[in-house]
Structure 1
């Protein structure tokens, strides 16, 4: 990290103010070249920025952050310039002419991580905070940026060290004056830790759904009214609606918000047997999306006399008897029997009636809140966290059953510790770090 990087820290386009930030050993030289001299640390100074030929670029506020007391831990600076694209482009050109390099996505935060300013979970919290669209996402990301997962990991690590010390005492000093049951004393520690990790793992799915969105699938036979219902809930024409069965061929996702939580509502291809290759692929995708969804809305044409096509449902799903404003057909009775057998709640509605759609929105909001709300924010929020927690739990479970093979039990405890250390990046392969930080925007 001997080179000095720079990047715009604000979005491209016209704005009142744009920020260009620098980090690295040549930051002071760059500030002096453009602004005359570095201001006092953390005090904004109004300066005229000039190119190498002395031509004025802009009047800007210049801030100086001397390392290690900076975001990245290195010497840093910021130019707060007028937000016209030409101004920003001229500042970038001037910095490039000094031999500075445009930063890669996430490189500022990666330097903060590598200089010990943030752990890896906190760095992910930074990315999540930038991407936050809802209040719940903001709160969860801020909690992770504050070090909640890192603090939990440190506590888990302390328990592992305690258990490992007992195992190794029994293995390395069998003839010394150590209690005969020293290895057995490690087991209650491991059981308590396993219980805590299981709780964190059970809550990890909730954290992922807060980040990514609660997934709701509209499923059912062709012409049941799924696309009409999607448009009514989205309050726009997100899907094409025609009387021709099989109009929807692919999954159409619409982001929505319920009580401050993000949700993804998906219209899917009508479920039926078909020889049309394209429609068959749409049906396959519909079933796959529905299988992975958190909630399935089985939409039934209440005016039809055909037997309904039942998707794979769970007890907390909803059966929507649509077209309730038309004369009831035999399909309604079939659906009621099926829903009752599955323990699925039934809602009668017409997708054309605003009051019915509003009532459905309220029902969906209750389910989203029940699934995602909690007294405490989840500690684990990503698939990466969940995979490492699972690995640690498997290692600890194996250590518990190896009663007569203490060396192997101790090794499993060590490997569990390595898995937990990777959550916060104490040890992590370079390709994992590359993948994490490449998801950031440039300038962060």
Structure 2
């Protein structure tokens, strides 16, 4: 108990202090933004700029002085954001100064000289915004993703989440469940009287069934949001010397992998992150697959390649066009599909049908008559001449679009493992409540309360400091 009280007291002290930090990027820049938030923010304005009662949300050009020596440190813009109409919900201000390292350090030191002022911890501005009900947990997570977004579609998904796309959905379910719990508890309290409407329990059961179906549909989304957030794990597979590393270099537009005419050049896993049509692609080059090899290092490379395959969301299967062409002419009237089946079996990729796959016939420049190899599901490519690159990129982009979807406010996708866990637990509780609906309304109510608790964890209506520490651990100082 004393341990929890101590944590609460420390949090209270942290919240009472006024915090400051550099909110723009580190290093030399044209303009640096220094943010201040807390009860004594107005004191900072008065001591550093002489301003009293400034007009809110209006840029004012002022000389910025040290509170003790009154030395002019810089001249810049000052903005005042009185609470609760600020990002944190507290009194806040910003100093827009020149971005030199010495200028920024001098202003930070000046703020640090004021009583009860301290440097902000990572994510503390956003954490205060959460505690002051300016953001819920899903919006906080969306803000973190927005800061980390590297592609256009990632940015879109994160921005929609900061605007409450997921929050509105989860809070709608939570509001409906609160109402259902209240009705069930009322039914328990007044069951033996005539003061409760008939059929209220049946209506509750109908509401829960609808909610259960919506949550189940939300969970069965193919992990679209999670794939978009973390990147689609994509592995390049094929026999030795079919051009896997050349293909990676072509997509990277740089010599990321070593390429030689010698079979088995690639031994270890090589991974790069790419932006394909606005979607994040985590591309992995692997050792060539074959049944037998006397090379211990190559054996380990093959094991790692198959492990990467097991974890992959998308497979790029590479074949040698010349070998396909020769095989077809030696095995009439076989088709490219026949060769593919033999090739897949030879590589031991028996469950490839269960994965999204792009099939690439490389070295097409060595085959004079490609008509024999034509297939609408196959991409013909020459890594040497770069013919077929645009077709390959478009094909990969279509696969990524299918796997990740297109973010929208109307149909938001969850993108955190935490969301999936709580919704899965919520769904189990709803199922249990429906099982008890006709036999034991007290147990039904208890299962509904547990389901409500899991929805509360999602948006932060129910939370712990440990959970918040996990969510805020990757935030930068100044945000």
What is the TM-score with the length of structure 1 in the denominator? 0.89
Shift of 1:75: 1.4
Shift of 1:29: 1.8
Map Cα deviations across residues 85-133 of structure 1 (whole Å, 9 max, x no partner).
1111111122222252211111100000001111111111211222222
Residues 1:89 and 2:124 aligned together? no
Structure 1 residues 21, 230: CA separation in 2 closer, same or farther (over 3 Å shift)?
A: same
The 8 Å contact of residues 169 and 182 in structure 1, kept in 2 or not, is answered as no
Residues 1:399 and 2:441 aligned together? no
Map Cα deviations across residues 329-357 of structure 1 (whole Å, 9 max, x no partner).
xxxx9xx9xxx9xxx94334332232222
Structure 1 residues 179, 65: CA separation in 2 closer, same or farther (over 3 Å shift)?
A: closer
Aligned to 1:229: 247
Greater mean deviation of Cα atoms: 217-226 or 1-10: 217-226
Structure 1 residues 271, 69: CA separation in 2 closer, same or farther (over 3 Å shift)?
A: same
- Which of 319, 324, 329 aligns to 2:359? It is 319
- Which of 6, 15, 26 aligns to 2:40? It is 26
Aligned to 1:346: 378
In the TM superposition, 1:237-256 aligns within 5 A as 237-256=255-274
Q: What are the ranges of 5 or more consecutive residues in structure 2 without an aligned counterpart? A: 1-14, 328-341
- Which of 50, 53, 60 aligns to 1:45? It is 60
What's the Cα RMSD here?
2.6
> Matched residue of 1:19: which SS?
strand
Shift of 1:70: 1.2
Residues 1:386 and 2:402 aligned together? no
Aligned to 1:200: 218
In the TM superposition, 1:10-409 aligns within 5 A as 10-38=24-52, 39-51=54-66, 52-99=68-115, 100-177=117-194, 178=196, 181-203=199-221, 205-272=223-290, 279-303=298-322, 308-311=346-349, 312-314=351-353, 316-326=356-366, 345-374=377-406, 376-402=410-436, 403-409=438-444
Structure 1 residues 164, 97: CA separation in 2 closer, same or farther (over 3 Å shift)?
A: same
Greater mean deviation of Cα atoms: 404-413 or 271-280: 271-280
Greater mean deviation of Cα atoms: 410-419 or 351-360: 351-360
The 8 Å contact of residues 362 and 381 in structure 2, kept in 1 or not, is answered as yes
Structure 1 residues 397, 91: CA separation in 2 closer, same or farther (over 3 Å shift)?
A: same
CA distance in 2, matches of 1:269, 1:324: 22
Shift of 1:294: 2.1
Map Cα deviations across residues 385-432 of structure 1 (whole Å, 9 max, x no partner).
122111111111222222313222221111111111111111112111
Map Cα deviations across residues 259-288 of structure 1 (whole Å, 9 max, x no partner).
322222221233346676655554344333
Shift of 1:163: 2.6
Aligned to 1:418: 453
> Matched residue of 1:16: which SS?
strand
> Matched residue of 2:353: which SS?
coil
CA distance in 2, matches of 1:31, 1:413: 50
Structure 1 residues 275, 70: CA separation in 2 closer, same or farther (over 3 Å shift)?
A: farther
Map Cα deviations across residues 156-206 of structure 1 (whole Å, 9 max, x no partner).
012212332343234333312245654333221111101111222233721
The 8 Å contact of residues 34 and 49 in structure 1, kept in 2 or not, is answered as yes
> Matched residue of 1:253: which SS?
strand
Map Cα deviations across residues 344-371 of structure 1 (whole Å, 9 max, x no partner).
9433433223222222112111222233
> Matched residue of 1:409: which SS?
helix
CA distance in 2, matches of 1:167, 1:275: 70
CA distance in 2, matches of 1:286, 1:104: 41
The 8 Å contact of residues 220 and 310 in structure 1, kept in 2 or not, is answered as no
CA distance in 1, matches of 2:315, 2:299: 20
Structure 1 residues 35, 275: CA separation in 2 closer, same or farther (over 3 Å shift)?
A: farther
CA distance in 2, matches of 1:235, 1:228: 10
CA distance in 1, matches of 2:441, 2:305: 50
